[in-house]
Structure 1
Amino acid sequence: MKRLLRCLVLVALAAGLAACGPPRKSVFPPTLSVQQLQVLPNGLWRLTLRIQNNSYGEMDFKSLDGQLQVAALIPVRLHATFERDIPAFAGDTLPLDVLPTPEMAKALAAVEAKGSAGSLAYRISGRTSAKPEQEKQPRDFDFNGHDWLSPVPGIAHTFR
């Protein structure tokens, strides 16, 4: 009887240890925002997008597909394929050139004419593909953010 009880205890302990594995790290959608916008001489806008990993583990970012809307104007498409390994709770930047609509360029020029007192609302939304640390395949995460762009004092054609 004692021998049977010992065997059952050992089997239960082995099963309990087998169920124990590395703890799963929580995964949360990233946050994307415009860190800087620079108007290039050819009229293109060079966006510096900030990707903030809000998860408890590293994420390998692969691509993004979305749109940038300035004020209430027609949005422009954002698309990029890239490789960024971003640690937990850290951020990284991604340069991206976009061709604004003429209305968007006029709105930004009007804000620049006001100097540091001017600001322009923007909205960025879409989907990014990333592979969380403990997963084998990348998956898509939606993002949606909004903020204001203001001219940077002393740096022409640059907004933050």
Structure 2
Amino acid sequence: MKPWKLLTILLIASFLTACATGQRRVSEPTASLQQLSVGADGNWSLDLRLQNYSSIPMRFESIRFALSVGGEAVGTLEAATTLTIGPESADILNLRLAPSAEGRLHAADALASGRSLNYRIDGTIRAAPDDRGSARDYTVRRDSTLSPVPGLPGVMR
């Protein structure tokens, strides 16, 4: 066999081996509010979007966030979970919250006037690679806005 053919075969084989094994990348997960629904009793149902940016599945064990809207602290979002999210994917965690009086006023005002509602979540996500090891805490701080959804009273996205 000619040396250049042997070299070509070896290069192709090593390339295919490298592609097959792939790199395991563990990236910090993040979270955001996807939806806030105000109930008739004034309590909120929140859809928290958990995003896994890792190249492997991640096991989410718990979340704890201080939530503020319009610059006012409204409550704490806290939950234990057994949610596993695939590589570079997201899933939704539904949470209930009895917000502070100030939070209720801010949400009611935004809904009544059709304006956006600024929010901040600040806290931790406890997660681990699904196939190994113990979990660790990832710090998350997110500032964003939710806007009223036309045709869905009491709902902001």
SS for the counterpart of 1:136 is coil
Alpha-carbon deviation of 1:128? 1.1
SS for the counterpart of 2:73 is coil
Task: Report the AA paired with residue 146 of structure 2.
Answer: L
Aligned to 1:146: 143
- 1:132–1:58: structure 2 CA closer, same or farther, 3 Å change rule? same
Alpha-carbon deviation of 1:78? 1.1
Residues 69 and 118, structure 2, Cα contact 8 Å, conserved in 1: yes
SS for the counterpart of 1:57 is coil
Structure 1: runs of 5 or more not aligned: 1-21
Q: Given the two structures, how large is their TM-score scaled by the length of structure 2?
A: 0.82
Task: Report the AA paired with residue 133 of structure 2.
Answer: K
Q: Deviations over 1:35-75 (max 9, x none)?
A: 00001122110000000001111101011111111011124
Q: Given the two structures, how large is their TM-score scaled by the length of structure 1?
A: 0.81
User: Is 1:158 paired with 2:155?
Assistant: yes
CA distance in 2: counterparts of 1:46 and 1:119, whole angstroms: 17
Residues 74 and 102, structure 2, Cα contact 8 Å, conserved in 1: no
Alpha-carbon deviation of 1:144? 1.2
CA distance in 2: counterparts of 1:24 and 1:112, whole angstroms: 46
- Between Structure 1 and Structure 2, the one with more strand by share is 2
SS for the counterpart of 1:27 is coil
Kindly, what percent of the aligned residue pairs are identical? 36
Which segments of structure 1 move beyond 3 Å, counting only runs of 4 or more?
A: none
Aligned to 1:132: 129
Structure 2: runs of 5 or more not aligned: 1-20
Aligned to 2:17: none
CA distance in 2: counterparts of 1:51 and 1:105, whole angstroms: 24
CA distance in 2: counterparts of 1:133 and 1:46, whole angstroms: 28
SS for the counterpart of 1:140 is strand
CA distance in 2: counterparts of 1:84 and 1:32, whole angstroms: 14
Alpha-carbon deviation of 1:135? 2.9
> What are the within-5 Å matches in structure 2 for residues 66-145 of structure 1?
66-115=65-114, 118-145=115-142
Alpha-carbon deviation of 1:32? 0.3
Q: Deviations over 1:74-120 (max 9, x none)?
A: 241111011111011100000000111111111111111112xx111
Residues 24 and 134, structure 1, Cα contact 8 Å, conserved in 2: no
Number of matched residues?
137
> What are the within-5 Å matches in structure 2 for residues 20-35 of structure 1?
25-35=24-34
Task: Report the AA paired with residue 106 of structure 2.
Answer: A
